[in-house]
Chain A
Amino acid sequence: MLGIVPSASLLGIDGHPVTVEVHVTDGLPSYTVVGLPDAACREARDRVRAALHSSGVAWPMRRVTVNLAPPMVRKVGSGLDLAIAVALLVAVGAAKQEAVGDRSFLGELGLDGTVRAVGGTICLTDALGDGPVVLPAASAAEAALVGNREVSPVTSLAQVLACLQGEEPWPAAADAPPPPDPPALPDLADVRGQPVARYALEVAAAGGHHLLMLGPPGAGKTMLATRIPGILPMLEDREALEVTRVHSAAGLPLPGGGLIRQPPFRAPHHGASSVALVGGGTIAMRPGEISAASHGVLFLDELAEFSPHVLDALRQPLEEGNVRVARAASSVRLPARFLLVAAMNPCPCGYGNQPGGCRCSEGARVRYQRRLSGPLLDRFDLRVEVGKPTVEDLFGHERGEPSAPVAERVAEVRALARARGVRSNAELSARALDEVAPLTEPAADLLKEVLRAGRLSARGLHRVRRVARTIADLGGGGLEISETHVATALTLRVDGLSGRPPHEVLAG
């Protein structure tokens, strides 16, 4: 006899529909699974057998074949357990195929028959057909985020069996409780003094410009970075949905079952592998930190300690806003549009923040700086020196400006960018710059001089103009970019690292 049940499996952040077919026939007792199951799928047999037993149904002493269609796509994870169990129930005659109808089934089974939550529910639900979805009660709130869907939250296989046999009605989804208030984000008011760093934070958040903070340990670079999500605008529906999908697929906790509204903040440790950072781990092509940071902040502390190989992997996502991960059997494109914020010491000894004060040997310093390739360093439009707060700052009574007014200014600038047709000023094309950010003559002269002095490349020129556009927006809008705006953009873009090799003999 044959049982057919629709379900879904996860790849990247997308669910793929899977049709589970179970065929039971006479013959020596055996169990075969086909359809490229991964290890967790293969282990389904033991879970399903125990769950059935706990629910009062005997495992058939016959030849059982499970097919997970379509055959050429890898099936991942334990979320197919419930579907396999239901298909088996139909195949042994304990339930009718008509009772299944067009219902889809998702869920992991415990040995006692409990139906457990499945990672990536929101992505999986999205891939299912139009019929009702039977899934674990713990995942119901997440599934409800996917628009009009009839959802039946269940807690045990026994309950599912009872519903299939018509003894109980399929449970309806309870009204989702209102999502809890998100936790308060760190506030800028905690930052004392450090006016330039605050300003750079504002410019970075407002325009989406990547920020590099240079400074000795203890300067507060991490503290500053964690304040950025608090001044970024809350995520809009489309962004929130994408972020929630990514976090769900990555197995990260979701706030009270609701959509993620706060811009994410991810700070991977510098020992992270490139797979952990970029994604593609496990057969399910799990999203990495850069995808989890989408529409939020990716903070790389101790940038020079990251392996150059790992940093190199960031270049394409920074350029394109997504990352393509390919394995032998499949490839996925994961979103990766984030604000990159990084912190580093100027040199290994940490005293490089004073000219002539660095104690590192030439070789050590050159090796340290070589870890950051020129192209990666170039991606940072804002490079600021962050000094240690003075004693007066720390014990002074003045708290800095809190996040709320800063967030308002940031939101205004972001709105201006949207009116220009881009998500943020950092995405303005070179041609668009001429239209929306024309230079006054003194501004153009200043740029020409800097170009002539060799302190700026052509690509650097466009980046400076974008930052100048954001600075002008923060200063009250107005179409033209003045010399002040350009000067500020240049000054916030420190040339090279402090404590760099002493005044070497420059060409020309």
Chain B
Amino acid sequence: MSTFADLRALGCAALLAGLPRMGPARLLWFLERSTPEEAWAHATSGRPGALGPPITLQPNERERSVEEVTAEVVASWAEQARRDPEGVAAAHAAAGVAILLRGDERFPAELAGDLAPPGVLFARGALPLVEARRVAIVGTRRCTGVGAGFARELGAELTAAGVVVVSGLALGIDGAAHRGVLDGGGAPVGVVGSGLDVVYPQRHRALWEAVTEHGTLLSEAPLGARPAAWRFPARNRLIAAMADLVVVVESHEAGGSMLTVDEALLRDVPVTAVPGSVRSPASAGVNRLLSEGCHPIRDADDVLVALGLDAGRRGRTGEQRPDPGPVGHRVLDAFDWQPCTLEHLVVRAGLPVPEVALALQQLVAGRWLEADGPWYERVARC
């Protein structure tokens, strides 16, 4: 039930958030000093101070002067003056996207009080967010089958324990975590770096819809905003800010999840990591975190304990896996916990190809192994 005045304010805020070079800090500067309407008028005035704090040159602008680039940006912002704030607000409402300013009761409290709060939030789905413990599950896009499987299971088990899972809807670990929450019938919370109508990555179109339908989707970017590179570190800080605990499932030495870890540490949010094989590049980052003192996570119980919740020894029935049999054992022994191809196993087990093939199919069916293309990986379960 926004009044006309409110609609205008929301529209101005959305337009501000969509201006080029309007990062979170700059947007905050504007919205802290004045109302959205005043801020919009100032930004599009074309006057020298219209940009707020001084801009910094981007790497591809090194040869130019700050004054030159500033003048350009001022002009490009002034061109936007003719945009219609009420129309933009109406468009967002029509798309089911709520524009949240910091006074709004639906604005997540922990973000409002954050050390680098977002000036505007765009949200779709269930609002306000359910009051519950929140765990951020993050990791690399280039994960292994085992890592993704773990993230999915963790998502489902934490959901069953009443914990809310937050992640970024990226390929790999993020997507698996969300899917796990959906498996468990829960409400996933996704924070993305593009406008809520700009699905990124494309492959997650169905997941995007599912998260919106069953949970909540948040972004600092207005409708139509492209997934620019700089928006992702910004988005990672929101994930860290919303979490009571961060779980890194798999990460290479450097990557987006490491940025999320840094943001979490800045906010005194505990960071935990899932150990992986020291030979797997996808676990290099998490293993480093562990060596630097992060708490290890082996299963959902560890997460619940780290949150201070009663793990309740939920009595994992330890799904009975069928006995592998003599050939199966020989093949499993040839594994040594590295991902292997058929060739490795045939050579190490010293058995003919058809026998190994049959054993592999049976082991995969019995959940002793996971198959990923030509690679087979051992799966451990208590």
Residues in A lying within 8 Å of B, measured CB to CB = 193-197, 199, 214, 354-358, 362, 384-387, 446, 449, 471, 475, 483-485, 487-488, 490-492, 494-505, 507
A385 engages B171 (CB within 8 Å) = no
Give every chain B residue within 8 A of A499 (Cβ-Cβ): 373
Task: Please provide the chain B residues from 331 to 382 with a CB less than 8 Å away from any CB of chain A in the complex.
Answer: 339, 341-344, 346-347, 353-358, 360-362, 365, 371-375, 377
B176 engages A385 (CB within 8 Å) = no
B206 engages A507 (CB within 8 Å) = yes
Residue of A nearest to B347 (CB): A195
Residues in B lying within 8 Å of A, measured CB to CB = 140-145, 147-149, 171-172, 175-176, 178-179, 201, 203-204, 206-207, 250, 252, 280-283, 339, 341-344, 346-347, 353-358, 360-362, 365, 371-375, 377
Kindly state the separation between the CA atoms of A399 and B264 in the bound complex, as whole angstroms.
58
Known: A484-B357, A503-B176. Is A498-B373 also a contact (CB below 8 A)?
Answer: yes
Complex partner residue of B357 from A488, A496, A502, A505, CB under 8 angstroms: A488
B358 engages A484 (CB within 8 Å) = yes
Kindly state the separation between the CA atoms of A135 and B365 in the bound complex, as whole angstroms.
69
When A and B form their complex, what is the total count of cross-chain residue pairs whose Cβ atoms lie within 8 Å? 126
A483 engages B373 (CB within 8 Å) = no
Complex partner residue of A362 from B171, B342, B343, CB under 8 angstroms: B171
Give every chain B residue within 8 A of A471 (Cβ-Cβ): 354
Give every chain A residue within 8 A of B250 (Cβ-Cβ): 356
Residue of B nearest to A503 (CB): B148
Give every chain B residue within 8 A of A194 (Cβ-Cβ): 343
Give every chain A residue within 8 A of B178 (Cβ-Cβ): 505
Residue of B nearest to A471 (CB): B354
Complex partner residue of A490 from B148, B339, B357, B377, CB under 8 angstroms: B357
Kindly state the separation between the CA atoms of A358 and B280 in the bound complex, as whole angstroms.
12
B282 engages A355 (CB within 8 Å) = yes
Kindly state the separation between the CA atoms of A446 and B360 in the bound complex, as whole angstroms.
12
A387 engages B341 (CB within 8 Å) = yes
B144 engages A491 (CB within 8 Å) = no
Complex partner residue of A356 from B175, B282, B342, B365, CB under 8 angstroms: B282
A498 engages B374 (CB within 8 Å) = yes
Complex partner residue of A498 from B148, B175, B358, B375, CB under 8 angstroms: B375
Kindly state the separation between the CA atoms of A490 and B172 in the bound complex, as whole angstroms.
26
B144 engages A502 (CB within 8 Å) = yes
Give every chain A residue within 8 A of B145 (Cβ-Cβ): 355, 503
Give every chain B residue within 8 A of A356 (Cβ-Cβ): 140, 142-144, 147, 250, 252, 280-283
Give every chain B residue within 8 A of A507 (Cβ-Cβ): 206
Give every chain A residue within 8 A of B372 (Cβ-Cβ): 355, 503
Complex partner residue of A491 from B207, B361, B377, CB under 8 angstroms: B361
A500 engages B343 (CB within 8 Å) = no
- Seed contacts A199-B353, A503-B149, A503-B172; 4 additional CB < 8 Å A-B pairs: A194-B343, A195-B347, A500-B373, A505-B207
